[in-house]
Amino acid sequence: MKLKRGFASDNNAGIHPDILSAIAGANDGHCIAYGDDPYTAQATRKFKETFGDDIDVYMMFTGTAANVLGLSAIVRPYQAVICSDIAHLNVDECGALEAVGGIKLLTVPAPDGKIVPGQLGRFLAALGDEHHSQPKAISVTETTEVGTVYTQDELLSLSEFAHTNGLFVHMDGARLANAASSLGVGLKSLTKEAGVDVLSFGGTKNGMMLGEAVLFFDRELSKDFKYIRKQGMQLFSKMRYVSAQFTAYLSEDLCLLNARHANRMAKLLASRLEAFRGIEIAHPVEANGVFAVFPEKYLDAAKKEYFFYTWDPMGPVVRLMTSWNTTEGDIDSFMAALKNA
């Protein structure tokens, strides 16, 4: 079956060949299940090389689980998490944090995807008042849901605000590699060195078959996490196959190289779209997402040949994502479909 590559989601892309061969390479002999295996030990060492020695790492299947369980480790049900109104956590996880963690979300408007400390002071008034959920963490998404990128300075100002006020910082890093690659920095500089306490680290959207990880940069915070993960139904028996993928993903900069390619393709796609009269780029293209306003005739023409998401159900903004295996030819074909309009 020959399938065409489109721009609906980086989740729609296949598996990078190095990851596939890492899975095949782990497929020999028997290993102790549930993570007590040499592949998981090796991946954990890789994580420590990348993010620092004094961390704890837990493999997960999905990004939603990484967010929900990671936050459940640091926030109690009478407490709350502050995030942007467009955070995946808030709009795309079907209320999982509320349902599974029993944790309230407090949202702030973020037209460009980012939250800033100046928006957060009002939540502090609730601290100590038993009538209100107690803010306990800020969750940021890197890259943001609209493809923008928090710089290290922006993250540092948020984490300084958080820590000064007794809050933790959680990062939904489903596309952290795209952000790091966009800024030309390492993964550690946007996380541990930016004051992040707990990270959901994504692999699936950037060349892995499946797998995310929760990283704790303060090991005190993870002391109960093995129970939280098991109760949260994410302790999978054949962990070696996710771990082997992470070893390959973190080796020889594969994750940054994949992200760099995807980001470059997004810039190219955006510049080609801008050449069409009436198409406007809605957000700065800083990573692998292109958000564009499509006049109806282009929308109709593109939809005839491609599946993609309309970002704003009430408006004409579409979300186009590039991935590690997007080619210039894929962009040419998309442009040809638009030209038919």
Ligand X SMILES: Cc1ncc(COP(=O)(O)O)c(C=O)c1O
State the residues that interact with ligand X by CB under 6 A. Answer: 11, 62-64, 88, 141, 145, 172, 174, 204
211 half-sphere exposure, CB direction, 13 A CA radius: 27
Q: CB atoms < 10 A from the CB of 337, how many?
A: 16
We find the least distance from the C-beta atom of residue 167 to ligand X, in angstroms, to be: 20
Concatenated DSSP letters of 10-46:
GGGS---HHHHHHHHHT-SS---STT-SHHHHHHHHH
195 or 211, CB closer to ligand X? 211
Q: Which amino acid is at 246?
A: F
Residue nearest to ligand X (CB): 63
Q: Which is nearer to ligand X, 31 or 179 (CB)?
A: 179
Q: Which is nearer to ligand X, 151 or 333 (CB)?
A: 151
Q: How far is the CB of 290 from ligand X (least distance, A)?
A: 15
Phi, psi of 105 (to 5 degrees): -105, 135
The conformation of residue 205, written as its DSSP 8-state character, comes to G
Query: What is the side-by-side strand order in the sheet with 280-281?
Result: 280-281, 289-293, 317-321, 309-310
Closest contact distance (angstroms) between CB of 175 and ligand X is 6
Question: Quick one: 4 exposed, middle or buried, by C-beta within 10 A (0-12, 13-18, 19+)?
Answer: exposed
The distance of closest approach from Cβ of residue 13 to ligand X in the complex, given in angstroms and rounded to an integer, is 13
| Residue number with CB closer to ligand X (9 or 152) | 9
Q: How far is the CB of 205 from ligand X (least distance, A)?
A: 7
Q: Which is nearer to ligand X, 64 or 258 (CB)?
A: 64
